[in-house]
Structure 1
Amino acid sequence: MPRRHVRVTGAPEAPLRAALGALRTELGVPVSFPAEVLAEAGRPPRLPSYDATDIPLFTIDPPTSDDLDQAMHLSRREGGGYRVRYAIADVAAFVAPGGALDAEAHRRVMTLYFPDGKIPVHPPRLSEGSASLLPDQTCPAVLWTIDLDADGRTQSTGVRRALVRSRAKLDYAHVQRQIDAGTAEEPLALLKDIGALREGLEIERGGISLNVPEQEIVEKDGTYELVHRAPLPAEGWNAQVSLLTGMAAADLMLAHGDGVLRTLPAAPDGAVGRLRRTALALHVDWPHHVSYAQLVRSLDPHRPNHAAFLQECTTLLRGAGYTVFRDGALPEVTAHAAVAAPYAHCTAPLRRLVDRYSSEICLAAAAGEPSPEWVLEALDALPKEMAEGSRRAGTVERECVDIVEAALLKDRVGDLFEACVVDVQEHEPTVGTVQLESPAVFARIVGGTTRLPLGERLRVRLTQADPGTAKVQFAPA
């Protein structure tokens, strides 16, 4: 996929790192861990009796990642179909309920990613060491075994604690090259087969995956770049295995009567109608017989009007949250509208608090046992804790991108740029958002006297770029 790499000029120590440091202070982000938390993180884990170290698992993550939550092994089943074995880091084997490490995880909730480092939920000694599914390290895991038929549909699900050992740490680009070249061994080559089947089932059930190019901050040679990156197909196939496990977890919890689901209500009345009007304004062909999900999959994010429409489509995905239930009293909304099925977060316990609790309930359900008391006692508070953690993580992501954009453009105030209008405020159509062709920047545009042309190209002038305030602003030229 084509990428646009943009260098952030100037030494990162000033003013970029100062602005990032100020952001940490403003958000009250905890930088270090208390001594008692570090002490608990160094204690040996509770080890399961079942040994699954003979399964040649592998991980697929960004190349610099060391907090490896998931490892997989894919195989064909005799008589047809597939077997997915998916190991999830068993954080509960290391964290004692009610202890200092547990309390600190509830305070942090989610790992926060800054351009100059991350603020993890758990001490690195645990999250990047003893609990991580690093290659050639034997460690406890929650091991899922999901059997699929030849069409990729789930036939049976099992989950238990196990000792596992990953054999290889792979990254997406390496995986994509091997699969494209036909040199991948079968357990890896099957990622494409199973991923494609699951993508087809997602279409069938009306699920939606928005292929919006991501804006990423990457470090290079002591400075930072902003990159617009279209995800590789291998990332989508890998995501389908995670989704498969999350859906299996939701089904287990619903049958068990206790759980915490990741839910998203259906779009409110009129939302799709508004998108149809936006499609018309953007010259996106949307025949009446074509569903929203079908249309989204047909769009090319490299076409300016399609990219603008995809940005508008994200409005239908707002409102996701966590829904708790217990004692068989199932909630009114159990599905995640974008997944088009019940779904639970369970595959990233090193980086997200709620996943530890989902795993424990699923283990109890699979064993036919009641959910642990320490899990039930914490359930009711989880939605609020996760909402606050998600809000903080979203703020960090937005503010960091704003700071890097401002640092990148601080010496170019007054310059002209080619841009595409990707958003226009409904009640103030002279205000909106533009995406620059180069560098890879999204920013606010104000100051015009006529309605902004949604989805069309526009020459703009940079009027503000201040890393200290993390503000970049343009005006029509």
Structure 2
Amino acid sequence: MPRRHLHVTAAADTPLRAALRALRAELGIPEAFPPAVIVEAERAAREPNLPENDATDIPFFTIDPPASRDLDQAMHLARRADGGYRVHYAIADVAAFVVPGGAIDAEARRRVTTLYLPDGKVPLHPAVLSEGAASLLPGNTAPALLWRLDLDAEGRVVTTDVRRALVRSRAKLDYAGAQAQIDGGTAEEPLALLPYIGRLREALEIERGGVSLNVPEQEVVETDGSYTLAYRAPHPVDGWNAQISLLTGMAAADLMIAAGTGILRTLPPAPDGAVARLRLSAKALGIDWPHHVSYAALIRGLDPHDGRHAAFLQDATALLRGSDYTPFTGGHVPPLAVHAAVADEYTHCTAPLRRLVDRYAGELCLAAVAGTAPPEWVLGALDGLPKEMAKGTKLANTAERESVDIVEEALLSNRVGETFDSVVIDVKEHEPDVGTVHLEEPAVIGRVLADGAPLPLGDRLRVRLTQADPGRAKVQFAPV
């Protein structure tokens, strides 16, 4: 599921960069790895546990942002003789490098997830692994969990298999380049099949009532002491690529449920209040959302190249709050087993370089296919994983929220005293003069204080910016 992606190009000595550095220190975000972790990682990179199965003859490719080197997934797509498709999906085998209970394992359980902050990332694993020996970089022979998913002509799963294998990617593609090859008709068949399979899976998503958010990346650009906020709209290939990951996550959940032991990624339906608030955001941005149109149908009709739609997609991530990791054993599948956005049982298993739980999910799936008991180090950690993931996710969410605040403070810091058109999207229940407004331009959300006068929830309101200073004063407005 998507997060809000922000990237800062401002110089190191700007107030924005300084505020982001101060935020890292305040939240206690880890930076360098302890020496013992580095020593163990370097040794593991030289001496991984390699599988016997060799699948290096399959010409895998990856699709990631241009600068990415921590590549978890590589794919190969082919047609089947019966009119269906075969998806080979290789997932980096982090367990081939990490000793349970060792230094890397302990540090990963402390960090839980890679943090993507506007001024750079904080990785889950040392770079010698995550951007080196364990990464599915082109030409790098690496251990992987090799999924084979056979689909029928409608894109439905027919058979599922996963086993350890050595793989070697042939090409590292970025989204724009992959899209250009597909649109230009120059893509070789393994890539050319991605839109066919992706669209079939999108149709099945609509059929089951799911929804995918292709959230645009935002870039903060500093020019002559002021900042502007620009969007990078996703390409169609972003969504098709995501469908392969979702397909694997759903297949993994099915394996776990059939085996009676697993850990699911669950999400309850969004509460009515959250949907109502999102409707106010739509109104603020001038997006028509008739009451008979569902949230999922509206999302599918938006154009991420449109700035207003892009801003709304950012706001829509609020409906994904409340997700959790739910373990189960002994065949006792929890009552809430479905992820509301996926509209199916689902688990995280495709990003083990960047997310702790995926390493455990992969082992559970391998055991399910082999018909054996999962490793003791997996079973022993299963009950505690949700708390570990929740702690790390809370830090990630706080860092993201505070980073967005700092970026918006920088964006508006030289505009204090100016007035803006907005819509009131939230009012405190017991303080009706305190609320939240969504500006029409730029697409900023901020606090508004009306000094005793009740705020008109859902109505347009002309507001004046009263404060904004990166890391010192959060964005705040007052009615004109």
TM-score, with structure 1 as normaliser: 0.89
1:257-406 equivalence runs, <5 A = 257-268=260-271, 284-286=288-290, 288=292, 290-299=293-302, 314-406=317-409
Secondary structure of the residue aligned to 2:325 is strand
* Partner Cα separation in structure 2 for residue 231 and residue 135 of structure 1: 24
Distance 1:46 1:455, change over 3 A: farther
- Tell whether 2:449 aligns with 1:437: no
Deviation at 1:138, TM superposition (A): 0.4
Distance 1:85 1:13, change over 3 A: same
Deviation at 1:316, TM superposition (A): 3.7
CA contact (8 A) 1:304 1:455 kept: no
Deviation at 1:175, TM superposition (A): 1.2
* Partner Cα separation in structure 2 for residue 342 and residue 169 of structure 1: 31
Secondary structure of the residue aligned to 1:431 is strand
Deviation at 1:425, TM superposition (A): 2.6
- Tell whether 2:182 aligns with 1:164: no
1:438-476 alpha-carbon deviations (Å, 9 max, x no partner): 4x54433333746457485x6543221211336222334
* Partner Cα separation in structure 1 for residue 282 and residue 444 of structure 2: 23
* Partner Cα separation in structure 2 for residue 61 and residue 412 of structure 1: 37
Q: Equivalent residue for 1:16? A: 16
Distance 1:345 1:202, change over 3 A: same
Which stretch shifts more, 14-23 or 183-192?
14-23
Distance 1:264 1:7, change over 3 A: closer
Distance 1:422 1:66, change over 3 A: farther
* Partner Cα separation in structure 1 for residue 404 and residue 287 of structure 2: 30
Deviation at 1:210, TM superposition (A): 3.5
Q: Which amino acid aligns with 1:22?
A: A
CA contact (8 A) 1:249 1:344 kept: yes
Q: Equivalent residue for 2:38? A: 38
Q: Equivalent residue for 1:421? A: 423
Deviation at 1:52, TM superposition (A): 0.5
* Partner Cα separation in structure 2 for residue 238 and residue 16 of structure 1: 33
CA contact (8 A) 1:246 1:347 kept: yes
Distance 1:309 1:23, change over 3 A: closer
* Partner Cα separation in structure 1 for residue 224 and residue 95 of structure 2: 38
Distance 1:411 1:8, change over 3 A: farther
Aligned with residue 141 of structure 2, among 134, 138, 144: 138
Where does structure 1 lack aligned partners over 5 or more consecutive residues?
none
* Partner Cα separation in structure 1 for residue 438 and residue 283 of structure 2: 19
Secondary structure of the residue aligned to 1:327 is coil
* Partner Cα separation in structure 1 for residue 308 and residue 137 of structure 2: 43
CA contact (8 A) 2:9 2:220 kept: no
1:46-81 alpha-carbon deviations (Å, 9 max, x no partner): 000011111111111111111001011111111211
- Tell whether 2:143 aligns with 1:149: no
Q: CA RMSD in A?
A: 3.2
Distance 1:165 1:422, change over 3 A: farther
Distance 1:467 1:294, change over 3 A: closer
Aligned with residue 102 of structure 1, among 91, 100, 105: 105
Distance 1:472 1:139, change over 3 A: same
CA contact (8 A) 2:163 2:366 kept: yes
Secondary structure of the residue aligned to 2:207 is helix
Q: Which amino acid aligns with 1:354?
A: V
Distance 1:154 1:422, change over 3 A: farther
Deviation at 1:20, TM superposition (A): 2.0
Q: Equivalent residue for 1:468? A: 471
- Tell whether 2:119 aligns with 1:116: yes
1:186-201 equivalence runs, <5 A = 186-201=189-204
1:226-265 equivalence runs, <5 A = 226-265=229-268
Deviation at 1:27, TM superposition (A): 1.0
Which stretch shifts more, 402-411 or 103-112?
402-411
Deviation at 1:285, TM superposition (A): 4.7
Q: Equivalent residue for 2:55? A: 52
CA contact (8 A) 1:115 1:219 kept: no
1:356-408 alpha-carbon deviations (Å, 9 max, x no partner): 00000001111111111110001111001111111111111122222233234
Deviation at 1:26, TM superposition (A): 1.2
Deviation at 1:276, TM superposition (A): 7.6
Secondary structure of the residue aligned to 1:29 is coil
Distance 1:466 1:173, change over 3 A: same
Q: Which amino acid aligns with 2:423?
A: V
* Partner Cα separation in structure 2 for residue 56 and residue 101 of structure 1: 31
Q: Equivalent residue for 2:3? A: none
Distance 1:79 1:89, change over 3 A: same
Distance 1:476 1:64, change over 3 A: farther
Distance 1:436 1:41, change over 3 A: farther
CA contact (8 A) 1:112 1:118 kept: yes
CA contact (8 A) 1:256 1:365 kept: yes
* Partner Cα separation in structure 2 for residue 27 and residue 6 of structure 1: 19
Distance 1:304 1:28, change over 3 A: closer
Distance 1:266 1:285, change over 3 A: closer
Q: Which amino acid aligns with 1:38?
A: I
CA contact (8 A) 1:431 1:452 kept: no
CA contact (8 A) 2:216 2:314 kept: no
CA contact (8 A) 1:45 1:93 kept: yes
Percent identity over the alignment is 65
1:107-146 alpha-carbon deviations (Å, 9 max, x no partner): 0001112233211111111111111111101010111010
Secondary structure of the residue aligned to 1:42 is helix
Deviation at 1:278, TM superposition (A): 8.6
* Partner Cα separation in structure 2 for residue 276 and residue 167 of structure 1: 45
Where does structure 2 lack aligned partners over 5 or more consecutive residues?
1-5
* Partner Cα separation in structure 2 for residue 74 and residue 343 of structure 1: 22
1:193-215 alpha-carbon deviations (Å, 9 max, x no partner): 11111000000001122455454
- Tell whether 2:27 aligns with 1:27: yes
CA contact (8 A) 2:115 2:122 kept: yes
User: For this pair of structures, how many residues does the alignment match?
Assistant: 468
